[in-house]
Structure 1
C-alpha cells in the first residue's frame, strides 16, 4: 500500500514538472514578443521626432507610417494553472486493500494424567546433608565466644569474638594478625571484600569501617539505625 501511494505521488510530481517544461517556453516567447514590439515603438517615436525637426523634403516624403503595424498587439495569453482536487478517502476501502488480522484463539486442553502426591511429598532430596559435621583443623582462640568468621582465602580466616580485637588466623600456622577496632568498641559483624580488605561494623557509634594496610578508615556513618 505504501509503495502504491509513493508511485502515485511520484507520478503527479512528474506531471507537474512536464507542465512546467511546456509552460515556461510559452511565457518566455510571449515576453520576447512584447519586448520586441516595445523596441519598435521606441524606434518609431525617435524617427518621428527627427521627421518633425527636419527640413528635408525628400526625407519627409520617404517616410512610411507604421501605425497599422504597431496597432497589432501580441496575442493575449491565457493560462489556466493546474489545481489538485483531493478525493475523499474511504477508510473501510483502505482496510479492505490492506488486509485484516484474524482473531486471537486460545485453547486449554486437560492432561490425561495426574501427579502422584504421595510419592512426591516424601521423596528424598537429590543430595543428603551431612549428619555429623566434620572438623578439619581446630584453632585455639583467646575468645570466650567466637561469634563471626569470614574467609580471606582457603587457609586464612578472620574471627570476631567477644572483645574489640579482630584476629586473622591461618589454619596451619595459627594467629597471623590482631587488630583493635578504631573506637575501642566491640565489632558487630565482619566481612572480607573482593580485594582482601577486612570490613567491620561498629554498632555503638553506627559506623562501617574498612582495614587497609593496618589503617582503619570509616567509610559510612549512619544516622537513623545501627548496623
Structure 2
C-alpha cells in the first residue's frame, strides 16, 4: 500500500497533482500551508494520473521539477523559479524538453546503428580480410622461396654432374695418353730383355763367327723416351658465403605498415542479407571454450544436427536417431528408420523436421510428427549426404550403382531442380564419399574424403575452389575431411579425423584456424545460431559443445 509522503502512514486518500505528493486526510492542510504554493490541484488518490518520474530538484527538498531552463540546461522546480535565479531565462515544460531530448537520442541511435556501427563492422571485416590476405601472401612468399631453393638445388645438381663428367673425360684422355706411352716403354723393355739374352748366349758360346756377327742396340736404347708429366686439374669452388651469395640467391624487399587517416568513411547500413547484421563483427576466439560434453549412448557416434539452440539430433551405427537436450544432456526422443537400416546422413529443415538418407533402400526421408515419409526414391543412384537450404530445397549427394560416378541434385519436394556433376572441363567434381552443406552466400560446400578436399561450387554449380588442408596440422598427418558445416560468418568448418581437429576456413577457402579442444576422432559437426559448435566424436560417443566466436553487442 502507498504511504503518505508527510506522516508516512498508509492511509493515502488525496494526491496533489501540482506537487506530485501523496497525502492522508490529516496532512492535506499541513501540505497547503507549509508548501507556500497557492495553486494546489488536489484530487482523490484513485483518480490520479499515472505518476511520471519527474526529476527531483537538487536544491529544494521534496520538490519535483516540472520546468526546464534552456539557458542553464537543468530541470527546475517552482521554488527555483520563485527564487528569481532563472529570471529572464527561457523556460520550457519538462516534458517538452524530455521529448526533444528523446528525438535527439533517437536520431543519434539511428546514426549509430545505421551508419557508425556498420562502418566499424566494415572496418573490422576489412582488417580481418587484410590479415587473411597477409597470411596467404606470406605463405605464398615462403613457398616461392622453397621452390626457388629447389630450383637452385636442381641447377646445382646439374652443374655438379656436368663438372664430374668433364673431370671424367679429362681423366680418360690423360690416362689413354699415358697408357700408350707405357705400352711403348714396355715394348722397349721386352726388346732390351731379348737383346740381353742374345748377348749372353753368344758370349757363352764357342762360335767365334757368331760372336763377331752379333750386334747390340745399346745406342738405340740409350736415347731414353720423353717424360710425360700431365697437368693435373683443380676444382676452385665458388664463394657460398657472405652477402654476395645472399643477393645472388635472392633478397626480400622490406615490408611496412602505413597509417591512412582518410582510409575509411562512414557507410550507411546495407539492407542485403549479408550486410549490417551484428554477427559480422564476430571474431574467432584465440582459445576456444569447451562448454559441455553430451554422452549419446551409441556404440559409435557419427552425425549431429542442430534443431534449435537447446536441442540436437544425433545418429550412430544403428537404426536409431536420438534427440538430446543440450543444457541438460537428457534424451528427449528416439526414432528408428522406416526400413530398419542405418541412416547415412541426417539434417534438419528450416521448419524443424528431421531428414535422413537411407543407402540400403535408396531413399531420402523426412520425419513429421513422428511419421516418416519417403520424399525421394532413387533408381540407379544411391543417396549419401543431405542438407536443407535457405530456400527450403534439399541438396543430396549421390553415387551411381557401380560407385564410379557422383553428383549433387537439388530437390524441391520430390521434384529435381538442378544437377551438379562436372567442372567446366567435363571432369568429375566429386568422389563417392561426400557430406554437404550450404553457405550463407549460397555456395554449396562438400566434404569429400575420397579426394581429401573441401569442394566448393557456387549456386549455379560452377567450381569456386578446392581446399586440401593447411601446413602443419596438429598431428602432422594427411588431411581427411569428414563432416562439414557453415556459420553466420560464412565460415566453412570441417572435421579432420586423421588430425583430431576441426579446420576453419573463410568463404574463399583461406585457412583461418584449427580447433583441437582435446577432440578424439571427430566426424560429424554442426553450428547453432549462438556461435556454438557441436562435434560428434566417433569412439567416445560424445558430442562436444565448443564456443569458438567472440560475443558482440546486439542492437535493434
- Report TM bin, short chain: 0.3 to 0.5
More helix by share: 1
Alignment TM-score, normalising by the size of structure 2: 0.20
More contact order relative to length (CA 8 Å, sep ≥ 6): 2
Alignment TM-score, normalising by the size of structure 1: 0.44
More strand by share: 2
